[in-house]
Structure 1
Amino acid sequence: MVVRVLDAVLDLLVPPRCAGCGGRGALVCARCAADLTAAPHLHLPETAPEGLPECWAAAGYDGVARRVLIAYKERGRTALGAALGACLARVVARLPLEPGPLVLVPVPSTRRSRRAKGHDPVRRIAEVAARRLRAGGAQVTVAPVLRPARKVADQSGLTSAQRAANLAGAFTSGAVPKGRIVLVDDVVTTGATLAEAARALRAAGAETAVAVTVAATRKRVPVMRHARRSQIRRHHSG
């Protein structure tokens, strides 16, 4: 907690270091910002859970995106919400959706996480994204209608099936404003969290049009497949 507070204070008092590369002069330098604002890509988990909406991400969860997100969420550098919100806004602006009002629904943090961080990271960047989209003329609202319904175990190290079971019934939803529902999260891994969020929204009478995230984990290449590819490359190079 002390480290997070010190990082936030230093961002205000001294020339900041880029959260992506460590260079002086900006919270996120132009080169790293370019990585966060590249053309979004459709993320398809290898084993998509039932009910997962189409999911678009700005970057892979590695390199710049991973470092910026960790600094924002775990090290108290809340000012990075502006860059991450801008990143989300660019993804939403490029979605293949018909014109009309959009409703951004952020995936909620747990109560314990909100107390530890002092804010809800995903809701914050969703609100930044909505402001930027409205400035460009879009009809966008943020509806933080999802709520944790029960405690869940730490997702680290769980398989896709285990994550889905861990999150089953984890969210409940209040009434949702009219418009195309865009689920918002920071990172998508297996898609279990977004699938559960979409289920909760359907239970409340709202259908999710699409989901957007800042980053998506890269698909892992199975060991045997990786070995086979390496063998083929060696064969051709020989």
Structure 2
Amino acid sequence: MVQVSLNGSRTAADGAAVPMSPEALVEAAVGSVAAGAAEILVHPRTPCGRESLSPRVAGPLLAALRAAVAVPLAVSATVPGEPDPVGRIHAWEILPDRATVDLAEPGAAAVAAALAERGIAVDGVLRPGPGGGPAPEIPYARLVVELTAADPALLRGPGGTVVYGRGAAAWPVFRMAVAAGYSCRTGIGDVLHLPDGRPARSNAELVSAATALATGLGGCPADQGRARPA
């Protein structure tokens, strides 16, 4: 399974490939699904580009994405500076299928519990390292592991675990994770270059490269989602 991170913490300063507006994110999602993405991860943003869990920001974006693609949608529920993430989650009228929670962040348990109460699957983000590891009191449905290097000693997690790297680590980690049988993540939110070092022009181009690489390594990506007809 290849998940695509459409925007992550990127801003317009990171280049024209970063989709910023809801319209650009929908276009990126449609292209990514057509290229082989089986899940979409998005960071909802206000018109000024600030990440937000506000139902007035997340709701319309999720509605537009759901009308355009027929794959599971995930949002990041760990937003720096969000004043009341639990309250925001309980105020959502349009729900994502999944939400990521950084297990190391203060308040992660409360956020995960709020998501679970709304029936949203929790993806617990773990960054292995000294003293690292998921907090056992935090409920999560799936583990998402971010690695800074393609080190097999850091590769861990049960079936269904999603593994990814950022920047220079992205493609080496991807290759290692596919070879080990894990689901993987790519996208502008994580990496701005293709496996051969060329700048990526879009999320779809990254997903296409990822699925081709997975196939070449013997991986078997999940059935591709299909864009819904207009």
TM-score between both structures, scaled by the size of structure 2: 0.29
Which structure shows the higher helix fraction? Answer: 1
| TM-score, length basis structure 1 | 0.28
